[in-house]
Amino acid sequence: MSKNNDSVLVCENIGMQFGGLAAVRNFDISIPNRALYGLIGPNGAGKTTVFNIISGVLSPTAGRVKLFGEDITGLTPDEIAKRGVARTFQNIRLFRDLTVLDNVLVGHHLRRKATLGEALLALPRYRKEESGMMHTSRELLEAVGLKDVAHYRASALPYGQQRRLEIARALATKPKVLLLDEPAAGMNPAETEQLMQLILDIRDRFNLSILLIEHEMKVVMNICEHITVLDHGEIIAEGTPSEIQSNERVIKAYLGGGTIARH
Amino acid sequence: MSDWRLETVTLEIFMQNIANGITLGSLYALLAIGYTMVYGILRLINFAHGEIFMVSTYFAFYGIAIFALPWQVSFVLAIILTAVMGVIIERAAYRPLRNAPRISALISAIGVSFLMSNLGLVIFGGRPKTFFRPQFFQIPIQLGSVRVVALFFIIPVLTVVLLAILNYIVYKTKIGLAMRAAQWDFDVARLMGVEVDRAISVTFAIGSALAAIGGIMWGLRFVEINPNMGLFPGLKCFIAAVFGGIGNIAGAVLGGFLLGFGEIMLVAFLPGLAGYRDAFAFILLILMLLFRPTGLLGEKQRVRT
Amino acid sequence: MAGNQSNNFMRKAVLAVAGLVLFYLCLYWINTQWDAYKVRILNLCAIYIGITLGLNLCNGFAGQFSLGIAGFMAVGAYTTALLTMSPQIKRAVYFIEPLISPLNSIQWGFLPSLIVAGLVSGLVGFAVGAPAIRFRDDYLGISTLGFAEIIRVVFTNTTHITNGALGLKGIPPHTNLYWSWTFALLCVFVMVRLTNSSYGRALKAIRDDEVAAEAMGVNLFYHKCLAFVVSATMAGIGGGLLGNLITTIDPNMFRFPLTFTVLMMAVLGGLGSITGSVISATVITIAMEALRVLEEPRVVLGIFLPGIPGMRMVVFSIALMLVILFYPKGFMGDRELGLDSFRNLAARFRRTFSHKQV
């Protein structure tokens, strides 16, 4: 486990106890800049718990999370978002009654410099920021292919588009680290292909690091440079895709290896 | 100016206060159970519960006043009618909103509460009525230096008996099991063959019946009934249920007793603050929500996300 | 491009100013021509528009189910009353316990009193909202209701400040159409600006999913407090205007039925629609007066009909139940009637007529 000095996000010995149950134990990860890392494991392995810890929804019972060397353990989710970590959710948490565009615009709110007073009186600094945010939001929507549905209510979008909207919204916060929680869930093969390309494009275009939870092995094996495998809250293996595919413990954890697709 | 002086009391007055506290505590407990049971199964504050309590007293009253029924019959009939009314309210006002956002169900509950108290005003008239005092409850009993009427015994004893019966129903019968299963997860319960709708109806029926018994006892104890009498006991008893740990029947009883006792003691020992009696419950609530939101015997917290 | 934008801006500004001038001319005309009863109702409409918007901001746009609005109105009403009443009247009214100084000797103008009332209720709004940040809907409702009750009980028991249960009489009748409707317009303005701004979006995001909102960097504490404070301020100033309209207030006015009335206005109009609140506050205020007919005994066609007290609220409760069960989004849902809708209407109008000519 090399801890580079240029690691963007580092988890040191993270542990999470819920009463008597250890959801996560001894979790370490070190993500460099512009990296695409994967986090896989059977259901209930603790992957989303790790995300919740990194993004601040949960406070770990042990260990530290560091972003660019700064300890962000135990900060609230909005503070962590301000420092550059954004995420999507396993169960899609969009702002259902807002429009697609508004969903993305909310992501910009944390970077706002104009005050409430300026907003109320529509002073120039606010108006300039607002039009800038509009412009960037439309660009983001175009990047994920949702330009045409900008004024639809978010709840009206089909499932695949909703997932992409969540990604666009997360990108609006100008993150340095993007946590994607099962972005390919429920997608058909064509959509999955598009998604993989989208993730790679995002990484290149926005110059950020991505940590990906995914069950769809095609995605993980094809685009991730490094994979960490969790089982029952502990890391059982990590390495490159080919190393993971041939790892006996991993195969056993997934009950016979049938779910690890060969690409 | 509020007076913070502590009142010195004789043993007699003290015992009287204890008796008052136990009585009020029992009544609050009976009412609080209904709240906690409904909240446990529907995650809904049944704002109308206080009005159900109020209506039961009028059922009993009119049973005697208009239909000249013997009080035993009138009381039992009132309890049954109130239970039916509780079930009807659930069917009409809460069931249609089961899949709606929570705020809708809350607003509906408030609407029902308001509708009932105003209907009560329209139908029963705003002037308070005097509840009947059957001789049975007025038999005097001497306890050392204190003299109380039988009512002061009947209320707590009845409460304990009812609790035992309720305990039996909830933990030892099939419908009780259904109610407990539905508390956790509707879909899973349904998959296990539980008739969730029936469990909910039974919950309302039991809660309303208990509220009716509490109402009748209240009428016997405090004599005066009016259409607005449900609002404050209703709110206080919800707070008592939260205080004890919402969703937890034992907690509701504990909360009810503590609240009733606390109120009496406050007025007894700090008479200068008597005006704040009604605020006592609310202050307790806010303190509790800040420092121990799960209540005294609170249920397990669900994790978010 | 820039030239076009500034032209647009100029056009909107001119329209706005013209509209305002016209509006105030109408008020002037109504003030001088209509009878006092109708004017009073119009005053009430304006006041309730502002208060309903306040509730709508907190409950509708921010999704914070607060039942404490009567408490904030009470704070505002008592503050304004205490500041505007003359010392002589104060001596007369406070006959059980004299009012503490310096309140007993001061008398301020209406505007500074209203401003202070707004500030004080805003502060109280913060005190109520801040601890309640983590509460779920139902607990939030009960605890805000509890706060309102605590406020009322405190007012009933602090005779040396509020005159207790006796209430205050002889409050100077400063409220007129200009004050109340300026208040209503200001509230509408603040609501429109706020809800269409980035802050408004943040509030709506919190309403829709506060976990996701927090993850996107929205500070829950700041924004929820914002909703509470602005809402309480509106309610407080509205309460102050109300006090100086009806000239007597007492703690029993500010109980749950008042909160229910405002809640009903907001729900019927549509939680999340500014136009809805404006329309429903106006309609319901008028209806309240009109339905008073039901409650007072009157002689109709020679037949004496006894009044049925409480009938009004029965009607309104039924209306609320019908709405929440069948039209939960209310009259306007979360739509608004803006300049665009009028333009669309005008365009459609024109189109039908041009077709006819062909």
- Structural domain range at position C214: 35-295+305-357
Number of domains in chain C: 1
CA nearest to A51 within chain B? B305
In a domain, C277, yes or no: yes
CA nearest to A53 within chain B? B305
Say whether C313 and B118 touch across the interface (CB within 8 A): yes
pLDDT in tens, A215-251: 888 899 999 999 999 988 899 999 999 888 888 888 8
- The DSSP bridge partners found for residue A228 are A39, A238
Single-letter amino acid code for the residue at C10: M
In a domain, C139, yes or no: yes
A163-172, B291-300, C167-176: segment of lowest average pLDDT: B291-300
Dist. CA C174–CA B127, nearest whole Å: 36
Say whether B282 and C150 touch across the interface (CB within 8 A): yes
- Cβ A32 vs Cβ A226: under 8 Å: no
Structural domains of chain A ordered from first start: 1-84+175-263 (3.40.50.300), 94-172 (no CATH)
In a domain, C17, yes or no: no
Distances (CA, A) of B62 to B123, B132, B215, B226, C296: 12, 10, 14, 13, 26
* Residue A56 predicted with pLDDT over 90: yes
Q: In chain C, positions 301-320, which contact chain B (CB-CB < 8 Å)?
A: 308-311, 313-314, 317-318, 320
Which residues of chain C does A126 touch, with a Cβ-Cβ cutoff of 8 Å?
197
Q: What share of chain A is helix, strand, coil (3-state, %, to 5)?
A: 40, 25, 35
Q: Write down which chains contact chain C via at least 3 CB pairs under 8 A.
A: A, B
- Smallest Cβ–Cβ distance between B110 and the set C149, C157, C260 belongs to C260
Domain boundaries, chain B: 11-291
Q: How does DSSP assign C199-238, residue by residue?
A: HHHHHHHHHH-HHHHHHTT--HHHHHHHHHHHHHHHHHHH
Quote ipTM for the complex: 0.90
Say whether A48 and B305 touch across the interface (CB within 8 A): yes
Which residues of chain B does C132 touch, with a Cβ-Cβ cutoff of 8 Å?
289
pLDDT in tens, C230-286: 999 999 999 999 999 999 999 999 998 899 999 999 999 999 899 999 999 999 999
Say whether B304 and A57 touch across the interface (CB within 8 A): yes
B296 reaches C (C-beta below 8 A): no
pLDDT in tens, C11-48: 888 888 898 898 888 888 888 888 888 899 999 999 99
Q: Among C124, C334, C103, which residue's Cα sits nearest to residue C235?
A: C124
In a domain, C11, yes or no: no
**Fold type of domain B11-291:** ABC transporter involved in vitamin B12 uptake, BtuC (1.10.3470)
For testing contact with chain C, the best of A90, A102, A103, A109 (most C CBs within 10 A): A109
In a domain, C300, yes or no: no
In a domain, C152, yes or no: yes
Other beta carbons less than 10 A from residue C311's beta carbon: 18
Q: What is the dihedral of CA B16, B20, B22, B23, to 10 degrees?
A: 130
Sign of CA dihedral C105, C109, C111, C114: positive
Dist. CA A165–CA A208, nearest whole Å: 18
Burial C328-354 (b: 16+ CB within 10 A, else e): bbbbbbbebeeeeeeeeeeeeeeeeee
Average pLDDT value over all residues in chain C: 88
Q: How does DSSP assign A153-210, residue by residue?
A: BGGGS-HHHHHHHHHHHHHHT--SEEEEESTTTT--HHHHHHHHHHHHHHHHHHT-EE
Q: Residues with Cβ < 8 Å from C65, sequence gap 6 or more? A: B103, B106, C59, C137, C138, C140, C141, C144
In a domain, C63, yes or no: yes
Whole-model pTM: value is 0.88
In a domain, C233, yes or no: yes
What mean pLDDT do residues C304-323 have? 82
Say whether C213 and A126 touch across the interface (CB within 8 A): no
C220 reaches A (C-beta below 8 A): yes
Average pLDDT value over all residues in chain A: 89
Chains A, B: CB contacts within 8 A come to 6
Structure tokens at A10: 């580092």
- Smallest Cβ–Cβ distance between A93 and the set C198, C212, C226 belongs to C212
